[in-house]
Amino acid sequence: MSVVQEEPSPEIPSHPEEIKSVFDLRVGKHITLQGSARITPAGVISTGLAVAAMTLALGYLVSSIRRRRY
């Protein structure tokens, strides 16, 4: 069974307000990592809401553990 991965077409229409980032990370003399990311403003808002919800839940969990000890 062979899996063929297609290269993304450079002509893919992107979101007009899309935020793109490309980075190169060099570790030592022989290792170089390259990466890229893209996100829309709606994605930024959704990520912020998710992080806020997780922080709230973690804070509640920590406070309940502290109450149980005393």
Cα angle 11-16-18, degrees, rounded to a multiple of 5: 90
**What are the start-end ranges of the H helices in the chain?**
41-69
Of 24, 19, 46, 44, the closest CA to residue 34 belongs to 24
Based on DSSP, count helices (H) and strands (E) in the chain, helices before strands. 1, 2
Please give the model's pTM, rounded to 2 decimal places: 0.56
The domain locations on the chain are: 41-70
Query: What pLDDT score was predicted for residue 16?
Result: 78
For 8-55, the pLDDT digits (tens) are: 556 666 667 888 899 999 998 899 999 999 899 999 999 999 999 999
Query: What pLDDT score was predicted for residue 51?
Result: 98
